[in-house]
Amino acid sequence: MTHTSLASWLSYIESQHPSEIELGLERGNTVLARLNLSRPKHKVITVAGTNGKGSTCAMLTQYLCAQGYSVGTYTSPHFLHFNERIALNDSPCDDDMLCRAFDAIETAREGIALTYFEFSTLAALWIFDQSKLDYWVLEVGLGGRLDSVNMVDTDVAVVTSIALDHMDWLGDNLDVIAREKTGIARKDKLLISGVVNPPSTIASTAQEIGAILRQKSEDFHFSRNGGVWSWLGEDVQYDNLPVPALPLQNAATVVAVLVYMGFTPTQADLSTLFASAQLTGRFQQVASSPDVYIDVAHNPEAAVELSLRLSELPTKPIAVCGMLKDKDIDAVMDHLSGSFSRWFCCDLPGPRGAKASELIKSISQQSHKSSLEEYSFQSVREAFAAALAQARVEHCPVIVFGSFVTVSEYLALSQLKE
């Protein structure tokens, strides 16, 4: 079946599997074998982790592109356009290339029911094969071992962080989750762990696989001193690097990936990278007068990172918050309850969307306030409009956060205004 537009293809692939998520490699591997794809000229880098995957992929991509390499990057989810998921040299693929990829997958699958993510992953790999690239940077969607990205044998596996999230799929303790995420590693290939306080199963799984493990706080270290930071490995040291807009612990992991891959980044190259590295929705300033930031923080670990960022602002900001109800709302609010002067909570759409009243109840419990009902809204649009008006009076920033959905709705709203 051939479709004439990307929108038509996306509607079609959403209908091809009864489940949104069904972990496992058998279906995808069968189709991948039929496609007979090549590998990049140099290496495949696969990135897993609870938080920090997108930031790590972005910084690796931006470094490699700056060095003159051709790079294909696969990430998820997208904010406004599906094209964001599959990038060539840090620019989203065009509709025509995506339609041709979907057509190739549709022909090869011969009736095999693929999930939306499996279809997308195979399309990315087909596009990268067609483009004859130097490097592929692949972000795991969920977990690692059974995620469709793991159909490809990686040359360099990266685990950014381990925390409790997606427990229905990955397990309810850190040891089990770490084992799932570390399952992207391969025998005799690098495994770079940026995990702080790593579960022992990272090392034990690496040993079982036969991967070459390099761990933060054991094989490499980093420290911050004001507006600069340092990185120290076995025989390499970098000092006075600029603190990036993206999380510092992910920047430290990126340096480790580059060093242990055999690159010899110069001080100037790293300084340029960290002074300019950016990624949509990661404490990103998108407006001024008043300042508006967007952040996809939606779990406790990300909330801790956001709270650190907020503590560096000159004035306490106003929150526009919408979350999904399958996230640990209480823990997120616990970390952030004292970070804002006011909360403007909103309902998110769909069966997974939490109601503003649920968020307010949690905030009240964490901050011991009696009621915040006056700050409850039915949409991101309404909550943001009210927060913006209040921020103009108080001369303080607005932070839009809590979910990819929340940030996407803000971006769609701001795009309509342009």
Question: Where does a domain end: 253, 276, 299?
Answer: 276
Please, what's the b/e burial string for 154-188 (b: 16 or more CB within 10 A of its CB; e: otherwise)?
Answer: bbbbbbbbbbbbbeeebbeebeebbbbbbbbbbee
**Strands 228-232 and 221-225, how do they pair?**
antiparallel
Cβ neighbours of 101 (radius 10 Å): 24
Tens of pLDDT, residues 192-229: 999 998 999 999 999 999 999 999 999 999 999 988 99
The answer on 323 and 267 residing in a single domain is no
For residue 42, give the 3-state DSSP assignment: coil
Q: What was the pLDDT predicted at 372? A: 45
The answer on 179 and 98 residing in a single domain is yes
CATH for 342: 3.90.190.20
Residue 35, both tokens: 């496609």
- On whether residue 245 sits in a domain, the answer given is yes
Q: Which distant-in-sequence residues (6+ apart) come within 8 Å of 147 by Cβ?
A: 23, 48, 140, 141, 184
The answer on 240 and 214 residing in a single domain is yes
The answer on 310 and 210 residing in a single domain is no
How far apart, in whole angstroms, are the C-alpha atoms of residue 16 and residue 13? 5
Q: In whole angstroms, how far apart are CA 124 and each of 81, 102, 136, 290, 363?
A: 15, 9, 10, 39, 41
Tens of pLDDT, residues 294-304: 999 999 989 99
How far apart, in whole angstroms, are the C-alpha atoms of residue 180 and residue 4? 39
Q: Which distant-in-sequence residues (6+ apart) come within 8 Å of 62 by Cβ?
A: 90, 273, 276, 277
Number of domains forming the structure of the chain: 2
Question: Where does a domain end: 244, 276, 308?
Answer: 276
- Contact (Cβ atoms closer than 8 angstroms) between residue 140 and residue 147: yes
**Strands 376-377 and 342-346, how do they pair?**
parallel
State the first-to-last Cα distance of the chain, in angstroms, to the nearest integer: 37
Alpha helices in 165-231 (DSSP H): 167-170, 174-182, 200-209
Q: What was the pLDDT predicted at 370? A: 46
Q: 138: closest CA among 57, 28, 252, 36?
A: 57
Q: What was the pLDDT predicted at 415? A: 78
The answer on 327 and 217 residing in a single domain is no
Most distant pair of Cα atoms in the chain: their distance: 62
- Contact (Cβ atoms closer than 8 angstroms) between residue 242 and residue 271: yes
- Contact (Cβ atoms closer than 8 angstroms) between residue 215 and residue 249: no
Q: What was the pLDDT predicted at 186? A: 97
- Contact (Cβ atoms closer than 8 angstroms) between residue 387 and residue 298: no
For 264, the domain range is 6-276
CATH for 272: 3.40.1190.10
The answer on 340 and 240 residing in a single domain is no
Q: In whole angstroms, how far apart are CA 136 and each of 47, 67, 70, 392?
A: 11, 15, 9, 45
Q: What was the pLDDT predicted at 368? A: 56
The answer on 311 and 223 residing in a single domain is no
The answer on 174 and 37 residing in a single domain is yes
The answer on 201 and 139 residing in a single domain is yes
How far apart, in whole angstroms, are the C-alpha atoms of residue 249 and residue 365? 31
- On whether residue 1 sits in a domain, the answer given is no
Low-confidence ranges of the chain (pLDDT < 70): 1, 17-23, 164-172, 367-374, 416-418
The answer on 52 and 134 residing in a single domain is yes
The answer on 57 and 40 residing in a single domain is yes
Type and span of the H or E element at 139: strand 135-139
Q: What was the pLDDT predicted at 367? A: 62
- On whether residue 289 sits in a domain, the answer given is yes
